[in-house]
Amino acid sequence: MSAHAIYDHAPIGSIIAWSDSTPRPPERFTKKLAAWLTNNGKGRLIRKQPSRSMGNLSLSASFTLHEADLGAGGVVAIRVHRTFSLDSTLHFSVVERPVIGSVGVFDRHGEDAELVHLATHLAAAEEWLSRYGYPRAVLQEVTADEVGTAVVEGRAA
């Protein structure tokens, strides 16, 4: 499916895969494999941003995926995020939708909020928040309306 379909139909918290439809090169070709991994992977949908303008500059709508956390000893040093414009020519698919009843922890309220954690239930979200603390965090339960809209309307997002 296209980047537009992901933006329009995939709920925040979904696992999204992207691909350029080329076959994976053998492990021995390290440079080719590294280039292939740039255009093929998966991550959790954490943010959708509408198009916006700043002076003469116009930015198209986009979505951001959390690809990985890098660190050691339980300490995250780098979070790897990847942002895709709706103009992307890559192919996308929804690998997994968030479970109904799970709770998303967002870093702030509003349209520009980013999912920082997806917990299995409210108590787990509150416990995670007490450990990691986001002063303006917002908890939002995943509902059947949010997850099931694409299925009910006949879309295969």
Residue whose C-alpha is closest to residue 99's, from 116, 117, 121, 115: 121
Distance from C-alpha of 114 to C-alpha of 140, rounded to nearest angstrom: 12
Task: Please enumerate in sequence order all residues whose Cβ is within 8 A of that of 12, keeping only pairs 6 or more positions apart, or say none.
Answer: 45, 46, 47, 48, 98, 104, 115
pLDDT at 148: 60
Residue pLDDT tens, the chain, 157 long: 899 999 999 999 999 999 999 999 999 999 999 999 989 999 999 999 998 888 888 888 999 999 998 988 878 899 999 999 999 999 999 999 999 999 999 999 988 899 999 999 999 999 999 988 788 999 999 988 766 654 444 444 4
Distance from C-alpha of 141 to C-alpha of 133, rounded to nearest angstrom: 18
Burial of 23 (0-12, 13-18, 19+ CB in 10 A): exposed
pLDDT at 149: 56
Distances (CA, A) of 92 to 3, 21, 122: 6, 10, 30
Rounded to two decimals, the pTM is 0.84
pLDDT at 133: 79
pLDDT at 157: 44
pLDDT at 147: 66
Task: Please enumerate in sequence order all residues whose Cβ is within 8 A of that of 78, keeping only pairs 6 or more positions apart, or say none.
Answer: 69, 70, 71
pLDDT at 152: 44
Distance from C-alpha of 62 to C-alpha of 48, rounded to nearest angstrom: 6
